Amino acid sequence: MIPSTSREAPSKAAEDRRKSGFWRRLGGGSLSISIIVHAVILTLGIFWIFQIIPNKQPDVDFMSKGGGGGQPGAKSETTMKKRATMTTMNAPRLAAKNATSTFTLPEPDPASAMSSVGALGSSGLAAGLGGSGSGGGKGNGKGKGFGDGMGPGMGGAGKMNPFGMLDPNTNALVGEFYDTKQDPSHKPTGMTPAELGTVIADFTGHGGWNERELARKYFQPNVKLYQTRFYIPIMQADAAPKAFNCEKEVQPSRWIIVYRGNVSPPKSGKYRFVGTADDVLVVRFNRQNVFDHGYHVGTTGLHGSKSQKPTIYHYPNNPHYEGNLGYAVGIEFEARAGSTYPIEVLISEIPGGQFGASLLIEEEGVNYPKCPTGAPILPLFRFDNGAPAPATNAPPYDPNGPVWKLVGGHGKLDI
User: pLDDT tens digits for 69-103?
Assistant: 344 343 333 333 333 333 333 333 333 344 444 43
pTM (whole model) above 0.85: no
Q: Are residues 241 and 318 in the same domain?
A: yes
Q: Are residues 139 and 215 in the same domain?
A: no
The answer for 243, left when phi > 0, alpha when psi is -120 to 50, beta otherwise, is: alpha
pLDDT digit string, tens, across residues 217-246: 999 999 999 999 999 999 999 999 999 999
In a domain, 92, yes or no: yes
Q: Are residues 301 and 275 in the same domain?
A: yes
In a domain, 143, yes or no: yes
Looking at the 3D structure of the chain, how many domains does it have?
A: 2
Q: What is the pLDDT confidence band of residue 38, given thresholds at 50, 70 and 90? A: confident
In a domain, 34, yes or no: no
CATH code of the domain in which 219 resides? 2.60.120
Q: Are residues 185 and 297 in the same domain?
A: yes
What pLDDT is recorded for position 92?
A: 37
CA distance 101 to 52: 13
Q: Are residues 373 and 306 in the same domain?
A: yes
Torsion over CA: 167, 168, 174, 175 (sign): positive
In a domain, 94, yes or no: yes
Q: Are residues 118 and 193 in the same domain?
A: no
> Mean pLDDT over residues 191-198, rounded?
94
Q: Are residues 232 and 322 in the same domain?
A: yes
Average pLDDT, the chain: 74
> What is the chain's length?
415
In a domain, 47, yes or no: no
> Mean pLDDT over residues 124-129, rounded?
35
What pLDDT is recorded for position 289?
A: 95
Between 28-52 and 4-25, two packed helices, what is the crossing angle to 10 degrees?
50
Is residue 120 scored above 60 in pLDDT? no
Q: Which of 26-35, 171-180, 331-340 has the lowest mean pLDDT?
A: 26-35
Q: Provide the residue type at 263 as one letter.
A: V
In a domain, 82, yes or no: yes
In a domain, 48, yes or no: no
Q: Are residues 132 and 196 in the same domain?
A: no
What pLDDT is recorded for position 68?
A: 38
In a domain, 2, yes or no: no
For residue 191, the enclosing domain spans 173-410
Q: Per 3-state DSSP, what percentage of the chain is helix, strand, and coil (rounded to 5)?
A: 25, 20, 55
On the CB side of 53, CA atoms within 13 Å amount to 7
Of all helices (H) and strands (E), which one includes residue 112?
helix 110-120
Is residue 353 scored above 90 in pLDDT? yes
Q: Are residues 118 and 200 in the same domain?
A: no
